[in-house]
């Protein structure tokens, strides 16, 4: 089907308008961040939601950009801080890539362990996981004890069923078992 061009007009439904605002606000802030990063700009955006709540984005931050605008300072960002932002952005991008790789490694290791039937070591579990494991083991013990009782009762009934039943005879004083 593909993408359709949306006609630019105000969304009539209040709920739909709020949803549209929320989705497009994030896109707007992302584009502003891209523009600031690519061009080394100082940028500030302040928007009010249909509900009246204020949202803002600024690079380096909203207050500095607004103060500079109100005071009409025409000083550009010093070259040293421009390089600092680029370095921080590169470090952030590297860290995000590293995090994604580690998540993929973890998922692959879990799949491999499950396929091999290996279990996780108890030493690797945190307190919450250990408490859940304890509860699970206690439920298992309770179920095993119930099953054991049922089996004992069943075997007792089977033993009684296999023994001959002796009818009471007035002439016989002994009963055989």
What pLDDT score was predicted for residue 104? 84
Q: Which phi and psi angles does 119 have, rounded to 5°?
A: -110, 165
pTM summary value:
0.40
* Secondary structure of 100-115 as H, E, C letters: HHHHHHHHHHHHHHHH
- How far is 19 from 16, CA to CA, in rounded Å? 5
Q: Which phi and psi angles does 9 have, rounded to 5°?
A: -150, 160
Least confident of 9-23, 106-120, 157-171: 157-171
pLDDT tens for each residue of 10-33:
888 888 888 888 888 988 999 999
Q: What percentage of the chain exceeds 90 in pLDDT?
A: 6
- The CATH architecture assigned to 11-77 reads 3-Layer(aba) Sandwich (3.40)
The conformation of residue 4, written as its DSSP 8-state character, comes to -
What pLDDT score was predicted for residue 123? 73
Q: Does the pLDDT at position 149 exceed 70?
A: yes
Q: How confident is the model at residue 118 (pLDDT cuts 50, 70, 90)?
A: low
pLDDT tens for each residue of 37-79:
888 888 999 999 888 888 898 888 888 888 888 887 555 555 5
Q: Which residue has the higher pLDDT, 140 or 81?
A: 140
Q: Which phi and psi angles does 54 have, rounded to 5°?
A: -90, 140
Q: Does the pLDDT at position 158 exceed 70?
A: no
Q: Which residue has the higher pLDDT, 115 or 73?
A: 115
Q: What is the number of other CB atoms lying within 10 angstroms of the CB of residue 129?
A: 12
Each domain of the chain, given as residue ranges in start order, spans: 11-77, 78-119, 122-160
CA-to-CA separations, 25 to 14, 16, 55, 56, in angstroms, rounded: 16, 14, 9, 10
Q: Does the pLDDT at position 83 exceed 60?
A: no
Q: Does the pLDDT at position 93 exceed 70?
A: yes
């Amino acid at each position: 089907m593909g993408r359709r061009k949306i006609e630019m007009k105000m969304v009539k439904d209040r709920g739909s308008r709020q949803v549209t605002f929320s989705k497009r606000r994030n896109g707007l802030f992302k584009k502003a961040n891209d523009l600031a990063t690519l061009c080394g700009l100082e940028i500030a955006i302040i928007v009010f939601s249909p509900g009246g709540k204020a949202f803002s984005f600024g690079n380096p931050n909203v207050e500095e950009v607004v103060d500079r605008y109100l005071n009409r300072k025409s000083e550009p960002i010093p070259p040293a801080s421009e390089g600092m932002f680029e370095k921080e952005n590169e470090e952030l991008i590297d860290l995000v890539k590293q995090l994604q790789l580690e998540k993929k490694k973890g998922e692959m290791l879990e799949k491999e362990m499950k396929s091999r039937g290996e279990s996780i070591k108890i030493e690797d579990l945190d307190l919450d996981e250990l408490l859940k494991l304890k509860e699970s083991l206690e439920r298992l013990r309770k179920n095993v004890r119930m099953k054991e009782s049922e089996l004992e009762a069943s075997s007792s009934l089977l033993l009684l069923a296999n023994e001959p039943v002796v009818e009471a005879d007035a002439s016989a004083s002994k009963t055989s078992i």
